[in-house]
């Protein structure tokens, strides 16, 4: 099974945008993992990026303010 990195930018925004990520086989599993971690579903998942786990990768989100 090939795993991928799922990253949601703009996740569950309130005062500023949030960020969520999961390593999973597909988007359904990734969302289930995030929901399990939070204890509830998000009202706005934001923009999804799917990245392979076969090469180095970096990702950052600046804080609000």
Domains in the chain: boundaries: 4-43
| pTM, rounded to two decimals | 0.88
Per-residue pLDDT at 62: 80
Per-residue pLDDT at 59: 84
Per-residue pLDDT at 60: 85
Q: What is the pLDDT along the chain (65 residues), one digit of tens a residue?
A: 799 999 999 999 888 889 999 999 999 999 999 999 999 999 999 999 999 999 998 988 887 66
SS3 assignment, position 48: strand
Alpha helix (H) residue ranges in 1-65? 27-38
Per-residue pLDDT at 64: 67
């Amino acid at each position: 099974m090939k795993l991928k990195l799922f990253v949601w930018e703009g996740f569950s925004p309130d005062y500023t945008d949030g960020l969520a990520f999961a390593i999973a086989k597909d988007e359904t599993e990734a969302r289930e993992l995030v929901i399990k971690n939070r204890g509830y579903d998000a009202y706005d998942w934001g923009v999804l990026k799917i990245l392979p786990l076969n090469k180095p990768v970096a990702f950052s989100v600046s804080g609000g303010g």
